[in-house]
Amino acid sequence: MIRLFRVTNFRCLEKAELKLGPRFNLIHGANASGKTSLLEALAYLGRGKSFRGASTSNLTRHGESEFVLFGELEQSHGRNSVGVRNSRAGLEVRIGGENAPGAAALAQSLPLQVIDPEVHNLIAGGPELRRRFLDWIAFHVEHDHLQTWRRFRRALKQRNAALRAKSTEAAIRSWNAEFLILAKELDDCRRRVLELTIDSLQEYGRQLLESELGFEYQRGWSRDKDLELALDEGLEKDQQLGSTQSGPHRADLKVSTDERQARKLVSRGQQKLLASSMILAATETAQSALERPLLLLLDDPAAELDGDSIDRLMSAVAALGCQVVATSLDSETLVFPETPKVFHVEQGAVTVSAQKVSTSGN
């Protein structure tokens, strides 16, 4: 878990230091005070990128040339530190005071998940977010996943480059062998991950939505053909389009509630609860594999949810046992099972707030 967090020149935050509580933390403040920026900075420290999809250059405070983030971590085997500096020279990552190779090293040091007002896109958006959802769990529970995924992406790129260069069929086919081996490894891995997570996914679905959730992994090519045949039969189309149309890069995770397709659920609130169930299940699965509490960032969790729904979400979050940092416009809306550490943010300046917060334990 992260105990001390320092941020310099990130978005509207000039300089801030937060001594975070081990369990629950609440950051409150008016609109545009810098709440999401603080969570985004924390998430950047564990991912090397923004969860708002912003390019790194937009994250540096206007008029400055670099931002710096630093965290002191408490881990079962002792203390560690992570630091990130982004300047014109690029991104520098340091773990335990040593240069580290980048985002994967950050994700291993500070594994985290985010529930923010855009979380419903996990249901309403395209398949890429759902593939990433499965791959995030895989990254934390299976040692080889990252390596396999990178090698697959390279093979795919090379095959696509051959397609675009209008290479001969033999040249295109020469990429198939590697592509097929890695595709199978990725596909098998995602299936194992879904099997590992499914009970938890369904349990959170019952808790948050009182619904039976269904999850069907679609592997990215026809159900009744093996991939080799699909590549052969699809060659002409691949050549026309200049990219490979079959493979695990086209996979999806179909989600249904009470046997209806979840994407067609009209209510935004339900989509948010459903997506949150998925995030909590992923967090729980990774947490038990890693045997340490993860960091869960909740940006304005109350948005779009009625009183009962937000209470259900917060109870499920509390039971998960992770370290939580949540934001809210005020200090009353979110109810925690025990007193959180409370911070107030105003125009990018953070202070520890002495304000009383009600808890469900009261």
Ligand X SMILES: Nc1ncnc2c1ncn2[C@@H]1O[C@H](COP(=O)(O)OP(=O)(O)OP(=O)(O)O)[C@@H](O)[C@H]1O
CB of 289 to ligand X, least distance (A): 32
Q: Which residues of the chain form contacts with Mg ion (CB under 5 A)?
A: 35-36
| Residue 55 interacts with ligand X (CB under 6 A): yes or no | no
Residue 11 touches which of Mg ion, ligand X, none (Cβ within 5-8 Å per kind): ligand X
Closer residue to ligand X in complex, CB, 51/175: 51
* The only residue of 1, 4, 12, 146 in contact with ligand X, by rule CB under 6 A: 12
How far CA 342 is from CA of 46, 124, 126, 157, 333, in Å, comes to 22, 33, 36, 47, 13
| Residue 328 interacts with ligand X (CB under 6 A): yes or no | no
Closer residue to ligand X in complex, CB, 29/46: 29
Q: Which region, judged by CB under 6 A, interacts with ligand X, from 35-43, 103-111, 173-181, 255-263?
A: 35-43
Alpha-carbon gap, residue 333 to 327, rounded angstroms:
10
The conformation of residue 15, written as its DSSP 8-state character, comes to: E
- Check: CB of residue 302 under 8 Å from CB of residue 313: no
Determine how β-strand 341-346 pairs with β-strand 260-261.
unpaired
| Residue 31 interacts with ligand X (CB under 6 A): yes or no | yes
* The only residue of 28, 47, 61, 312 in contact with ligand X, by rule CB under 6 A: 61
* The only residue of 5, 16, 24, 35 in contact with ligand X, by rule CB under 6 A: 35
- Check: CB of residue 274 under 8 Å from CB of residue 261: no
Which two structure tokens, joined as six digits, stand for 307? 């009183």
Residue 29 touches which of Mg ion, ligand X, none (Cβ within 5-8 Å per kind): ligand X
Q: Print the binding letters for residues 179-218 with ligand X: x by CB under 6 A, - otherwise.
A: ----------------------------------------
Residue 358 touches which of ligand X, Mg ion, none (Cβ within 5-8 Å per kind): none
The conformation of residue 216, written as its DSSP 8-state character, comes to: E
Alpha-carbon gap, residue 73 to 110, rounded angstroms:
8
The conformation of residue 245, written as its DSSP 8-state character, comes to: -
Inter-axis angle of helices 127-141 and 145-164, nearest 10 = 140
* The only residue of 19, 32, 132, 351 in contact with ligand X, by rule CB under 6 A: 32
Closer residue to Mg ion in complex, CB, 11/159: 11
Taking the CB of residue 168, how many other CB atoms lie within 10 A of it?
A: 10
Residue 31 touches which of ligand X, Mg ion, none (Cβ within 5-8 Å per kind): ligand X
* The only residue of 11, 130, 140, 190 in contact with ligand X, by rule CB under 6 A: 11
Closer residue to ligand X in complex, CB, 60/207: 60
- Check: CB of residue 65 under 8 Å from CB of residue 8: no
The conformation of residue 168, written as its DSSP 8-state character, comes to: -
Q: Where are the alpha helices (DSSP H) in the chain?
A: 35-47, 56-59, 103-109, 121-124, 127-141, 145-164, 169-173, 176-209, 227-233, 235-241, 268-290, 307-320
Interface ranges with ligand X (CB under 6 A): 11-12, 29, 31-37, 58, 60-62, 329
